[in-house]
Structure 1
Amino acid sequence: MYELGVEQINCNGKLIDLPSLEVVRPAPKMPSDANIDWLLHIYFTRREFTRCRRLIERELNRHLNPEYLYFVQGLIDREEGNNIDALRHLQKSVELNPRNIETYKEIGRTLYLMGRFGQALGVFREAEQRSSIKDHEIYHYLGELLYRAATTQTLSELARQQQDESRSYFELAVQTGRKQESYVRLAELYRKDKQYQKAIEVLENCLHLTPENSEVLIEISVLYLKINETQKAHDRLAEVVSIERKCSPKGLLAFGAILQSRNDVDGALSKYSQIANAEPEIAELWNNIGLCFFKKQKFIVAISSLRKSVWLSPLNYNALYNLSLIYIALCLRKLDDMENAFVALERASSMSVGLQGGGRNPLVVLNFALFCYETGRLAMATEQYNRFMSQAQDLLLPTEYKFQATKLKSLLRISSQGNGILLDPLDSEESDLGHSRTTDLPPDELPLEVNAVVSQK
C-alpha cells in the first residue's frame, strides 16, 4: 500500500517504509567569474578551433580577464591565414597585459609571416628588453631578421654590422636553447666568413640533437672539403649513405668532388650523371663535369659542359675562370698566340685580388708565374711566384699546387730569402715543365665549385 506518496510493504503483519531512490542532481552551472583558460587551452592544442570560437564568444563579455581569450583567438586567426585579424586580437591581448612576453613573440612571428620584417625586428627587440630571462626564440628571430636585413642592405659597412650582430644573436640562441635552425644558420654565417672550422664545430654540436640528419652530415662533409680534409668528408658522406639509400644531389656532388680530387674521374662522372638525371639545372654540376672531361682530354665536351654552367649561372666565377683556362690552353697557345695568352693571364692575375670575397685565388697567380717562366719573362715569373707565396701562406692548398710551386722555385733558383733569381739560359732548356704548361696544373686541381650547393636559400 502507499501512503502520502511513500512506498510501503506489509512484511509479517508490519508496514515497512521503503527507502526512496536518490535522484542524481544536475551539474552546477559555472559561475560567471570562473576561469576557463584551461579548457580553451585543451581545445586549442587539439586544434578544435570551432569549439574554441564558441567558447571565446560565450565567455568574452563576462570573463574577468579576457587576455588569454584574445591571445588564443589571434593564434587561431593566424592558423587560418587571417593575419590582420590575428594582429588585432594579439594587440588587444598585449594591451591587457604588457608584461606577457609570449604575446610579443606571437605578434613578431605574425609580422614575420606577413613579410613586415622591419616591424617584426622592432617587436622582437622590445620583447628582448622586457624579458627577464634569456629566451632562445627571441635570439633566433633577432638573428634571422638581422641576417635578412644584411642581405638586402646596400651599404656594405652597415651590412657587415648587421651580419655581425646577427651572428652574435645566433650564438646566444645555441647557448640558451636547442633549436636546430639556429645551429644551421650560425654555421652558414661562419662559412660565409670563411671560418670553416668553426662552422664544422657548430654542426657537429647540432648532430647531438639530430644524429641522423643527412642534410647536416652533407654540410659537414662539404666544409671538410673546403679545408682539404677529404677523408673526413668521405666518412661523413658514408654515414649519409648508410642512413639513406638514395643520396641527395648535394651529397652526390660532394662525393663526386672527393673522387675527382683523388683523380678518380670515371667514379666522379658516375656520381655526376646521377645528379644530371634527377636535377640537371645545377651550375656547379656542369662545372665539375667539364673539368672531368678536360682531364680525359675530351675538350669539346669539356667546353660544352662549362658553357652550360655559365649559361645556368652567368656570374659563376669558377666556371668562367675554368672555361677561360681551357680556351687559353686550346686556342691561344695552340695558335702560338703567346702575346694574347700573356695579356689574358696578366689580366686574370690582376683581377684575382678583388674576387671571391677574401680576394685571393693563388691558382691564377701560379698559372701566370708558370707561363712567364716558359716565355722567358723570368723577373715577372719571380714576382708572380712571390705573390703566390704571400697569398697562399695561410691557406690549405692541394698538394699539387705546392708541388708545382716547389718545382718553379727550383727552376728560378729563388733563395730562401726571396732575393731574386739565379737562372742561366740552360735551365730553361732542361726544365721538365716543358713548353706547354700555361695551365699545367692538372685539370682536376682547378677550382671545384661545391659550395653553392649547400647555401641554397
Structure 2
Amino acid sequence: GALPGSSSLHILPILERRNWLIHQHYIRKDYETCKAIIKDQLQETNGMCEYAIYVQALILRLEGKIQQSLELFQSCAILNPSNADNLKQVARSLFLLGKHKAAIEFYQEAARLSEKDWEISHNLGVCYSFLKDFKNAEEQLNIALQLNKHDRTFMMLGKVHLLAGDTDKAIEVYKSALGKYQKAFEHLGNALTFDPNNYTAILAAGSMMQTHGDFDVAMNKYRVAACAVPESPPLWNNIGMCFFGKKKYVAAISCLKRAHYLSPFDWKVLYNLGLVHLTMQQYASAFHFLGAAINLNPRMGELYMLLAVALTNLDDVENAIRSYEQAVALDESNPLVNLNFAILLYNHGDKKRALEQYQEMERKVNLLRDSSSSIEFDPELIDMAQKMGAALQVADSLVWTKPAKDSKTKPRSTATAKTPGAPLGTNQALGQAMSSAASYNRNIQLPTGTPPADAQKSPELSKTRKSRQRAESLHTHTNTPTHQHTLLVAQE
C-alpha cells in the first residue's frame, strides 16, 4: 500500500514527508508513536495524505474498529481511485462487516485495475461462497489457483465443493493439494541428493517433518546438519522442540538454552523455553524466560497469557490479572486468552468481568468457525469452556460445543459443570499440536488418577494458531510473524 514518492527527501512534497517514518513505526508495531506521527502529518496536510490515512486505517482495523477503518479506506479510494490496494482494503473491510455483496463489487473494481491478482480472485471466491453462489465461487478459486497454488485456496475450494454437496470433487481438490505438498518435499529431497549437507534444505525438510509429528525422522535430519553447522540457533531450537514433542523436557531445555546462548535476542527461543518450563511446572523459571521474550516482542498477546499462567501459579493474582488485561488487549484471534482470563476472574469472585471475557471468547470462536470449516477445537478446551459456561450459567449459548460427529469432541460431563461456584482449573495450550503446556489451579479437585498437569495431551490448537491468517480467510499482508516453534533459516 506504499505510495510512489520521490526518492530524495528534500524535494518530497509536504504531503509525503513523514511516510518513511510512519512506515518504520508501523512495521515495528509501535502503533502509539505511529498514530502520533500520522496525526501531525494529517494536520499539516489538511487530511490529504493518502499514506497516513491508509496506515491509520490499518491500525484501526488491528484495534477491531472495522467501521471507522472502512471509512478511512474509502477516503483513500477517493484520494487515489487508481490504486487497487485502496479498493482491496475497502472490500476487505466490507467483508469483515458481513457485507459480502458490496465487497464483491469493490473486488471486481480492484480486479479491473490489477489483473491476475491471486488475492483478489481468492477473496472473490470466499465472498461468493458466503452468498452460497458456489458456481462463481468455484470459478474464482480456480482462477486463483492458476495464479498461485496457495494451500488456503485449495482448502477453500474443497470447502465450496463440500457445501455444494459434491464430495468427490472436494476429495480431488484435497488430493491435488497434498500432491503439491509432496512435490515440495520431493524438491527438498532432490536438493539434498545433490548437496547432502545443504543446511537450509535440511532445516526446511526437518521442520516439515516436525510439524507432522515425525520427531525421530526430523532428528535424524538435524544430526546431519549439526555436524555442518554446530553453532546454528534455529537448529538447536528445532532439536529442542523435537525433544519437547517427545516429552523429554530436560533434553529440550538444554538444547533451547544452547540456542539461547547462540542467539540471546531471539524471542521465539525464549518463548519456547517459557513453554517448556511451564509444562514442567517450574513457574519461576517460566516467568523469567517469558518476561525476557516480552521485552523483545511486546505486542504478542499469547506471551502475556503464558506469563499470567506462571503468575497465577506463583500466587501473584494481582499481576496475573494485569498480564491478562494486556493479553486480551493485544490478541485478536485466540479464544484461549479470554477463556483463561475468565477462569481467573471467576475463581477470584469477579463474575461480571468473567462473563465479559467469556463472551469475547465466544466471539473469537465464531470468527474462527466462519472463516474455516476445518477448525477443530481441542476437546479439553471445549470441556473447560463448558464448565465455565455452566458456572456462569450461560452454557446454552455455547455455539461451538455442540457435539460433533467425532466422539472425541463430545463434551464430557463432570461434577464441576453441575456445581456453579466450584473452583475451575486454568488450562492453556498453544502452538503446534505437538507442543502443549497445561496447568491447573492448585485448588481444583481433579478426578483420581489424573496427573496435576495434564501435559501429556497435545491439545489440537495448531489450527487456531493458523487462524492468525485464516481468522481472516481473506488474504491480507499482515506484519504479524507466523508463529511457529520451529525456526526456518529460510524464513528468518
**Larger radius of gyration between Structure 1 and Structure 2:** 1
Work out which structure has the larger RCO, using CA pairs closer than 8 Å and 6 or more positions apart in sequence.
2
TM-score range, shorter chain: 0.3 to 0.5
TM-score between both structures, scaled by the size of structure 1: 0.45
